[in-house]
Structures are given as structure tokens and as C-alpha cells.
Structure 1
Amino acid sequence: MQVHTNLISSRNSGQIVPIDDNMNCSSSIPSNGLLRIKSNRLQLIVLRCIFFAALISIILVTYFIFSRDHSSSSSSSDNQASTIKVSSTITQFPTYVTTPMSTKSSLTLSGQKCQSFSFDPYVSYSSNNKPWSIAFGDFNRDNHLDIVISKTENYELGLYFGFGNGTFAAQTTISAGSTLFYVTTADLNNDNYTDIITVEASDNRVGVFFGHGDGTFDRRKTFPTGYYPYWVDTGDFNGDGNTDMITANSYDNTVTLLLGDGRGNFATQRNITAGDIVTGVVVADFNLDNHLDFAVTEFRDYTMSVFLGTGSGLFQARQSFSTEKNPWGLASGDFNGDKYMDIVVVNQRADSISVFINNRNGTFQSQMVYSTDAPAISVAVGDMNNDTYIDIIVANDYKNYVGIYRGFGNGSFDFPMKFYTDWWILFVATGDFNGDHRPDIAVLSEYTEAMNILLNSC
């Protein structure tokens, strides 16, 4: 045992002393004792191996348990965030569905929300004679939404009476004036029946068909406008309780305001100067002062302009905001939930849409641009998946689909989802055609000269 003592002593002294290979240990240690020492050493080695193996196993098990718990915690956190986001959309607020290019919204009851968009395969209805735009109304007072379309050939309107289940009767026609572009509906003479308003571009006037409430109409009555009116919208601009009309006149760069007397008569208030080639107009209260304002698209100026109303039929100076190339149709809706109406413009030759967020005072932030993949002239808005956020629907010309941009409720939008239709879609509008409180889609195809209906199956 002297050797062992010397080794310990030497290590304590800080010096490493090698073992002498010539040292004769057997001379002082019996053979049976040597066997016991070797056996003890072997047991010690085995015990050490077992100990280290157990230690490594404990470390590995602890690591995997920790990793699994961390992963589960992250997954649980992600699921919780997703659940919170979804549940936040379950509100008792009504869903706003706007008519084409209009802010005259109708309330619908909230239904079942959907994570995405879903529509039945489209059903096609023949129209012929170059259909151009769509409007809705209950023309025969049966509580089912009916459809009217304008046409640029044969000087006629097409009527489709709804059955309330998403299907429509075959088209009936009404003879109209000259070239018809935009059509809209309103009660212009306060008789509680829906009337039809069209622009007769080549004759520089609007034509009004006063409804009887049974699906029939008086012969049209016309009122002069500026040069080559293209679009028309309605609202009470002077606060007298009667519906007025406003037209976008594309060839003389003006907007015509026609003030109604509530009995179906209109006086031209004045022509308001706007930008170069006014193609679209939309009416809304953009600054929440309880006076109606309007916005227009100016095709050649690459601008969208806003005119704030004073409530007397007069308007403040024009405010212009840059768009992309050749803005055409436009619509408004509250895209970020602040109660102020925002604006979306479709830029025909830029293959894009421009979204303008309201600064809560009737002025607007710079445009946010989203691609449309094709030229387009028509855009509509509505909550298409009932998540209480307004979405944007675009008609893609030269394509066979509409693109729906899902709104996030903060003023931004997702990439568009495609829903297939006939080819060359000129116009898109939303309305509840089957009474399920979910906005459906109607489009017009230039190629097939037909109307397509896509029922919302969300």
C-alpha cells in the first residue's frame, strides 16, 4: 500500500508521478488478494458505467420532456391566439351589404361566420344586347330581391324577378332611351315603390322609370345632365328629406347635381367641375357631419377626388388623391372599423385596386395598392364570410372569375380568392338573393352576354 500512499502524496504535492512498470507488487500482495482487488476494480468500473449511463439517460429524458412541453406550449399559445381572433368576430353587430358602387347600405342579420369564402357554382341567365351594369330592388313588393340590368345595345333594360330562393324568372325587358351605362334604384317620389334610374349617355340625360310596386313602371321621364353622363348615384344633398341625383359626366369633366322635390321632379342645381374624364361617383358621409359627400374617379388624371357637402346642396373645394393608371369604378365601406367610410378604386389599365383609408375627417391616406391580375372597371364591397369585416370584390375583365379580397378589419386585405364565372366580367354587385342574410354575388359577362349568380354558401 506504500505505492498508493506515494501516489496520493505526490498528487497532493502537485506533481504527477508515473507508475513504475518494473515495480513487483506481487511480492507484497498475495495472489488471492490480487484477485479480489481486480474483482473490486471490475465492479467499480461496471458501477461507474451504470452510473454514467443512468445519468445520460436522465439528461436525455429531461431534454425531450422539456422540448415536448415547450412545443406544446407554443402550439397551445398559437391555438389560443387563433381562437381569440376567431371569437372576436362573434358579435351582435349587423352585417353591412352595399349595393354596387353605392354606400346606401342595407342591414342584414348576422349569420354563421366562415373562416374563408364559399359559393355555389354559378348559374347563368341570358341577357343579350351587351349588358353593362346591375342594380337591385323589390319591384313587385313580394319581399324578394329583384334585379335590373342596363344594356349598351338595343336601348333596353332587363328585369329579373326573384323567387326568394336564389333563382330568377326569365328576363323581361323595358324599352329605354339611348346608350345606357350605369343603372341604380331608389324611391324618388316618396310613394314607397322602387324606381329605376339610368344614364342615357349619348342624349346627355338621366331617365327615370317610376315603379308601381307590382313590377310595372311608368314611361320614363328624362332630366338633362352634363355631357355624356356615365354614372349616377342618389342621396339627400340639401337636407329636405327628398332624394336627389348626381351624375358623373365623362366628356365635359363635370358632375351634375339634380335636386328632387319628392314628387318625381328634379331641377338641375349646377354642374360641378371635376377632373379629366369623370367615370364613377359614389355617395357617402365621409366626415360624419350628417351631410352627404361624394367621391369621383378621374380617368385621365389618375386621381380620385372628394367633395364634402355642406348640407345645403353646395360642396367644399375638391380634394384630389393619386391613384394608379386610369381609375374607373369605386365603392366605399368601413374597412378598419372606425365608423368612417373608406374608399376603394379599381384602376383599369394598371390591373390594380387602390384602397384609401379615411383620416376621420373626410381626407384620406395615400393609396394602398393590390393587384387584380387583369383589367377591371367594377368593384363592390360586402362582408362575404360574416366575420364583420368588409371584403372587396372585383370583376376581372378578360378573365372568367371574380376576385374576393378578404378584409382583416384593420384597413388591409388578403390576396384575392378566385371564384369562377363566364368569361370577360364587366360588372359585379352584391345582394341577398335567397333571404339567408348572406350577401350573394351577381356579375355580367361581356363574352356570353349573360348574368351569373353565385350564391353564398358560407
Structure 2
Amino acid sequence: MDTIGVFLNHENGTFPNQKTYSTGSGSRPICVTVEDVNNDCRLDIIVGNFDTNSIIIFFGYDDGTFTNQSTFSIGASRPKSIAVGDFNNDHHLDIAVANYGTNNVGILLGQGNGSFCFPVTYSIGGSIPYSIIVADFNNDYQLDIAVTNYDTHGISILLGYMNGTFAPATVFSTGLGSYPYGIATGDLNDDKQMDIVVANSGTGNVGLFLGYGNGSFEKQETYFIGVSSRPSYVTVGDFNNDHQLDIAVSNTGSYNISILIGYANESFETEIIHSISSKSSPFGIANGDFDKDNQLDIVVANAETNSILLLTDYATKPSKPQSTYSTGSGARSYGIVTADFNNDSHLDIAVANGGTNNVGIFLGIGNGSFASQVVYPTGDKSQTVALAIADIDNDNQLDIDILNCHTNGT
């Protein structure tokens, strides 16, 4: 059965068992994100289902639970990643989808009540889009889109207009044979311009594109991770509290996490490597302060060991013992996001379980530990791949939006 899982934070570094939400048999949930897409001041969860070609939204309640799914068909697109933002300045959240099967980006404009228009697609100027992010790359106060192109070794930038449409894609090379997976953004050199970091799985490095602030970028600078490391996904944050953004990378090939420490001179150093269990296949990675020690923690979804792993003290060598939480037999967990789902001021975790067609919720206790997983189904044969969190229906509660790749939704 395909699920996503949520861990609720208890404020003491521990989490109760995960709550799981089914995404449907065969849905294969892979990516997940969190936003308030219905304007009710409650976070919702948006999930992408790879095998059912759909987006699923779980609307949130104040207690960290979610309604039954609402499903939106996006055609035979095989969605791989999702991002959320207000693209047309109507104060309603919209959804952007990286469509692996149709080599384009789909935009679903939101109505503010939890419903969406049928997607409008834009060419990415490449093929096999994997990961998608949104940010203002040209300082015009409009959200733009960046997406990795796995098969054509580059990233595409689509600059947004205020009416929710986008300019033709501009492509920047990540290098021959790079096969870029994950992508993240932030001001990595303190020049007040948004930059982009990419996990290049084929060349075993992380690529950095420094932004000019006009929608264009410097030529990629790379940081080597390892010959067979196969970097998959990246997250940025100040992991050593020096007021400089750093980069954390999940390495599927070498079963570890790399942390690249950032310096004020625009350079990075591979300083800390944390091993994970053999054959774990770490994919999705996120960060947050789960134990309230004013130090960012790192959480990663392990596809092969059907678990999530939490690092709460990675600045020392060796680090403290890692905490792992099961996402269920055969879960094959991919995407992962963090947010406070039950308004208790503790960060929780949502995970897309592609093998069991569900979303799992782990409610946090606030000390770095979590409650048991609660699962929410995403539909038969959905293969949930992407997950986002937002208040979609304007009820001040976070909802869950899901991408399904093999079902067509309703």
C-alpha cells in the first residue's frame, strides 16, 4: 500500500510513531511539500503521485490530522516534483509541477478554496525534469521557476509575469553526464541575489549557480562529493551558526550525507560526512530545529530501508547516534518536508511513501523525538512521488498536496 507519513514533534528531541495517510494502491508517492492552499491558516499537504498522474491534497486540521484526499488529474505527465507559490498575484496559492513524462512544467492556478484550474504547460527546453523550485530570480517581485533537466544535463529558468504566465525557458548547463536531480535556492554569497544549488548525480558533485539578480547566472562552479556518491537531493541552511548558508546533500550511491560549509568568500568546503546504513538509498532531505537547541537538524528519507533518519548533532566527528523511524514495510520513502501541522510550536514531518501509496505524518514532541506514523492513502497505483504543504483552502490549517504519476485523478 502506498502512503505518506507524518511525525509530530514533542519538543524533547523525540517523535511519537508516524501517522500514515494512504495515497492509494500503486500510486507511488515520491515528492511532498507543505503550504496553506485554502487560506484557512492551516497547513495542507500536497503530494505528487508518479504512477497515477495526479496531484492529491490533504486539508489540515488544528490537531495535526487531515481530511480525506482531494485528487486533481494532470494527464499522462508522470509528475516528479512540485512547488507552491502565488504566481498571478491574486493572494491564492498556485502549484507548479515538473512533468517527467511530458518534458514540461505544469501550472495549476489556485482559486483560494482548495480547487485549481486545469494545468497550463510550459516547455523547459530540455528533457526529463526532476526537481522544481520557485523564487524571485530577477528582482521584479514575481515568482520564477527553476527545474533540473535530468536527461539533457542542465537547469531551466522560467521567469514569471504578474498574470501567472511565464517567459520561455533559459537553460544553463550542469555539465556533460551530470544527470542533475535535486535543486535548492538561497543567497549563498550574501549579495542579496538568489542563487541555485544542484545535486549532479552523474558526475558526483554539487553545482552552484550564483545569481546576477536579473534572471541569469554565472557559469556553474562544482564541488566534488565522490566518484560513486550519486548525489540526489540538497537542502540549504546555516548548519554551523556562522551566519553563512551551508549545503547538505543526500548521497544515494555512497549511503551518506555530506555537509558543505559555506564561507564569506563564496566558497564551500566538504567538511562533514555522515554515513547511513548500507543500502539505505537516501533521497529526500530537509532541515529544521526539531529539538529546540537553536541548531538546525537534518532529516532524510531512506527508500531502501523504509525509514527516515534524523541527525541532531552533526557538527562533531563522530556525531551522536542517529535516530531512525520506520515508515512501514515496503514504503520506499522518497520526498520529505517539515512543518508544524498541529499548531503546538513543534516541527513535524511528512513523508511520501511511494511503495505503499500513502503519506505518513510524524508529529514532533519538541525534543527531537516523534510520535508513531499516521498514514493517509493517496489512491491505488498512485506511486506518490512529490509532497508539498500549504493552506490551500484558506481555513488557516495546513493541507497536504500530493503528486500521483500513474492514476489520472478526478
TM-score by length of 2: 0.80
Which residue of the partner structure matches residue 313 of structure 1?
266
Which residue of the partner structure matches residue 147 of structure 2?
198
Rg (Cα) greater in structure: 1
**Contact kept? 2:61, 2:398, Cα under 8 Å:** no
Equivalent residue letter for 1:321: H
Q: Matches of 2:318 and 2:376 in 1, distance apart?
A: 34
1:253 aligns with 2:204: yes
Q: Matches of 2:33 and 2:240 in 1, distance apart?
A: 17
1:394 aligns with 2:351: yes
What is the CA distance between 1:213 and its match in structure 2? 1.4
More helix by share: 1
Residues 184, 363 of structure 1: alpha-carbon distance in 2 compared, 3 angstrom cutoff: farther
Equivalent residue letter for 1:233: A
**Residues 28-177 of structure 1: pairs in structure 2 closer than 5 A:** 116-128=63-75, 129-176=77-124, 177=126
**Contact kept? 2:341, 2:398, Cα under 8 Å:** yes
**Contact kept? 2:82, 2:132, Cα under 8 Å:** yes
Q: Matches of 1:115 and 1:198 in 2, distance apart?
A: 33
What is the CA distance between 1:121 and its match in structure 2? 1.4
Residues 331, 349 of structure 1: alpha-carbon distance in 2 compared, 3 angstrom cutoff: same
More strand by share: 2
What do the CA deviations read for 1:12-65 (whole angstroms, capped 9, x no partner)?
Answer: xxxxxxxxxxxxxxxxxxxxxxxxxxxxxxxxxxxxxxxxxxxxxxxxxxxxxx
Residues 148, 110 of structure 1: alpha-carbon distance in 2 compared, 3 angstrom cutoff: closer
**Contact kept? 1:292, 1:311, Cα under 8 Å:** no
**Contact kept? 2:32, 2:337, Cα under 8 Å:** yes
Q: Matches of 2:188 and 2:213 in 1, distance apart?
A: 13
1:446 aligns with 2:400: no
What is the CA distance between 1:343 and its match in structure 2? 0.8
What is the CA distance between 1:338 and its match in structure 2? 2.1
Range with bigger deviation, 360-369 or 384-393: 360-369
**Contact kept? 1:426, 1:444, Cα under 8 Å:** yes
Match of 1:267, SS? coil
Residues 187, 342 of structure 1: alpha-carbon distance in 2 compared, 3 angstrom cutoff: same
1:351 aligns with 2:306: yes
Residues 182, 111 of structure 1: alpha-carbon distance in 2 compared, 3 angstrom cutoff: closer
Match of 1:416, SS? strand
Q: Matches of 2:316 and 2:271 in 1, distance apart?
A: 14
What is the CA distance between 1:268 and its match in structure 2? 2.3
What is the CA distance between 1:400 and its match in structure 2? 2.8
Q: Matches of 2:42 and 2:234 in 1, distance apart?
A: 31
Q: Matches of 1:437 and 1:356 in 2, distance apart?
A: 31
Q: Matches of 1:359 and 1:178 in 2, distance apart?
A: 36
**Contact kept? 1:359, 1:365, Cα under 8 Å:** yes
What do the CA deviations read for 1:363-398 (whole angstroms, capped 9, x no partner)?
Answer: 953321111111111111111111111111111113
Q: Matches of 2:129 and 2:408 in 1, distance apart?
A: 15
Which residue of the partner structure matches residue 233 of structure 2?
280
What is the CA distance between 1:156 and its match in structure 2? 1.2
**Residues 208-227 of structure 1: pairs in structure 2 closer than 5 A:** 208-226=157-175, 227=178
What is the CA distance between 1:229 and its match in structure 2? 0.6
Percent identity of paired positions between Structure 1 and Structure 2: 34
Q: Matches of 2:307 and 2:173 in 1, distance apart?
A: 34
1:291 aligns with 2:244: yes
Residues 163, 331 of structure 1: alpha-carbon distance in 2 compared, 3 angstrom cutoff: same
**Contact kept? 1:248, 1:281, Cα under 8 Å:** yes
Gaps of 5+ in 1: 1-84, 87-99, 453-458
**Contact kept? 2:35, 2:399, Cα under 8 Å:** no
Q: Matches of 1:115 and 1:103 in 2, distance apart?
A: 15
Number of aligned residue pairs: give it. Answer: 352
Say what the alpha-carbon RMSD is for the aligned residues.
2.7
1:404 aligns with 2:328: no
**Residues 323-338 of structure 1: pairs in structure 2 closer than 5 A:** 323-324=276-277, 325-338=280-293
Match of 1:252, SS? coil
Which residue of the partner structure matches residue 395 of structure 2?
436
Q: Matches of 2:289 and 2:319 in 1, distance apart?
A: 13
Q: Matches of 2:351 and 2:272 in 1, distance apart?
A: 25
What do the CA deviations read for 1:181-224 (whole angstroms, capped 9, x no partner)?
Answer: 00110000111000010001111110000001111111011111
TM-score by length of 1: 0.72
What is the CA distance between 1:111 and its match in structure 2? 7.1
What do the CA deviations read for 1:229-271 (whole angstroms, capped 9, x no partner)?
Answer: 1111111111111011110000110011011111111112511
What is the CA distance between 1:318 and its match in structure 2? 3.1
Which residue of the partner structure matches residue 424 of structure 1?
383
Q: Matches of 2:107 and 2:287 in 1, distance apart?
A: 26
Match of 2:151, SS? helix
What is the CA distance between 1:408 and its match in structure 2? 0.4
Q: Matches of 2:40 and 2:319 in 1, distance apart?
A: 30
1:342 aligns with 2:301: no
